[in-house]
Amino acid sequence: MIWTPGVARTARRIAAAAAVGGGGLTALGLATYGLLYAEGMMARRVIGRPHGLEGPPSDGVYGDFTGEPIRLVMLGDSTAVGLGMADPGDTPGVRIACGVAAVAERPVRLTVCGVSGASSAELGEQVDRALAARPEIAVIFVGSNDITTQTLPAQAVRHLQKAVRRLRQAGAEVVVGTCPDLGTVRPIAQPLRWVTRRWSRQLAAAQTVGVIEAGGRTVAFADMLGPEFETNPVEMFGPDRYHPSRQGYLQAAYAVLPSVCTALELWPEPRPARGESIYLAAARAAEEPGAEVSATRVAGRATGPHGRWVTLLRRRPGALPNDA
């Protein structure tokens, strides 16, 4: 378990550095960061690229309904494109599109703008393509490649925040699946596995702060797939032991779907009894798979003595459907 107050302070530092353009190195320090990068490159060589770099083509209209399609775009890295899947129906984007269509009883037009291997620095080009589709809702999965490359946390958060802000200014709702816990990846050895777990949680918390400030909402992946990966790695991991299997992608899509439906006002907005500080909420969410963080007001105010007011909704991932 990561000490939540420490993660909250780190999230605040990273977010502040992102706002002013600093590097925002965490307490891990330069030496540890160098170790992380070196061992990350070794893990990448072990993993290889058995899937290539392309997910299955999945752009199209989903849902057997009439009416004007809801416009959904997927941005981010290989998890956004469903790398490793042969059937488009097994990718997160199609799963989310079909889920939204069923709830709205309207078709959904999906446009996938994500790119395998992308870090947050590459979101700008993806947003350019996404805006051409005039999206009503954008879903972003990003963060893993910021951990395994030389992207400093504040830089990653700054690029993500800019992408979210551009999408929101264009009228799109935005839901971000934050950085997952890379400590579950088998090819990553100790001490890197412990370091990546800590780094992943810190980045996820800082992503939440940046996304909320830009007008989006987040869903924590955390170690959502950790227990399944530990107990059944053959089923939950793909052949490269890094990317999720069909089951893993399904779990990720179903974790995000409720937040997407809420953002589109297809479901009522659940409201906890009180708001809380963005920094503590972000740190707590980074520990809880499926937790959603969104902005709120307390006594009519958007901010309090410790930053923006938010609500933390704890959505524990449930059992997967029988057709999984």
Q: Does any domain span residue 290? A: no
The predicted model scores a pTM of 0.85
Quote the domain boundaries for residue 237: 4-274
Q: Which residue has the higher pLDDT, 307 or 62?
A: 62
Q: Does any domain span residue 36? A: yes
Measured between alpha carbons, how far is 281 from 309 in angstroms, rounded to an integer? 9
Q: Exposed, middle or buried: residue 73 (CB in 10 Å: 0-12, 13-18, 19+)?
A: buried
Confidence of residue 194 (pLDDT cuts 50, 70, 90): low
Query: Residues 77, 223, 243, 259: which is the catalytic one?
Result: 243
240 is catalytic: yes
pLDDT surpasses 70 at 174 = yes
One-letter-per-residue 3-state SS of the chain: CCCHHHHHHHHHHHHHHHHHCCCCCCCCHHHHHHHHHHHHHHHHHHHCCCCCCCCCCCCEEECCCCCCCEEEEEEECHHHHCCCCCCHHHCHHHHHHHHHHHHHCCCEEEEECCCCCCCHHHHHHHHHHHHCCCCCEEEEECCHHHHHCCCCHHHHHHHHHHHHHHHHHCCCEEEEECCECHHHCCCCCCCHHHHHHHHHHHHHHHHHHHHHHHCCEEECCECCCHHHHHHCHHHHECCCCCCECHHHHHHHHHHHHHHHHHHCCCCCCCCCCCCEEHHHHHHHHCCCCCCEEEECCECCECEECCEEEEEEECCCCCCCCCCC
CATH assignment at residue 218: 3.40.50.1110
Q: Does any domain span residue 315? A: no
Q: Does any domain span residue 319? A: no
Give the chain's domain count.
Answer: 1
Q: What is the mean pLDDT of the chain?
A: 80
Percent of the chain with pLDDT over 90: 43
Q: Does any domain span residue 291? A: no
87 is catalytic: no
What is the mean pLDDT of the segment spanning 292-314?
87
119 is catalytic: no
Query: Residues 51, 77, 78, 200: which is the catalytic one?
Result: 78
Encode pLDDT of 130-145 as tens digits: 999 999 999 999 998 8
Measured between alpha carbons, how far is 217 from 116 in angstroms, rounded to an integer? 23
Q: Does any domain span residue 256? A: yes
Q: Does any domain span residue 242? A: yes
Encode pLDDT of 102-138 as tens digits: 999 999 999 999 998 899 999 999 999 999 999 999 9
Q: Does any domain span residue 174? A: yes
